[in-house]
Amino acid sequence: MDVETQEVIARAELPKLFRAIRIVLGLSQEKMSELSGISRVQISYYETADSVPTMLTFNKWLQAITKEIKELRKKEGRKIVSL
């Protein structure tokens, strides 16, 4: 598979991934905004493929979900997801 095709697939799947992970973690777009420092509107754009996050923004999102997963693991007292 060529790089261009991989990029098209990634751009199509990333919005679904953003939304699915947020929902599984029980986070609203507003709460995700608070945790990540990304505006709620931008989160909405990323989840609907109206915009593609920069690597800096993606890293903010990733740090926020990683922190949230660690918090859930503490609360549950068990391993939920391995990262």
Q: Is residue 15 part of a domain?
A: yes
Does the pLDDT of residue 18 top 60, yes or no? Answer: yes
**Is residue 82 included in any domain, yes or no?**
no
3-state secondary structure of 55: helix
Query: Is 42 a member of any domain?
Result: yes
Report which of residues 17 and 75 the model is more confident about. Answer: 17
How many structural domains does the chain have?
1
CATH code at position 22: 1.10.260.40
Domain that holds residue 51: 3-76
pLDDT of amino acid 72: 87
Q: What is the pLDDT of residue 81?
A: 53
The predicted model gives 46-75 an average pLDDT of 92
Task: Give me the pLDDT at residue 78, please.
Answer: 60
Q: Is residue 55 part of a domain?
A: yes
**CB neighbourhood size of 25 (10 A):** 18
Is residue 81 a part of any domain in this protein?
no
The mean pLDDT of 30-40, rounded to a whole number, is 97
The reported pLDDT for the residue numbered 2 is 81
Closest CA to 48 of 18, 26, 25, 28: 18
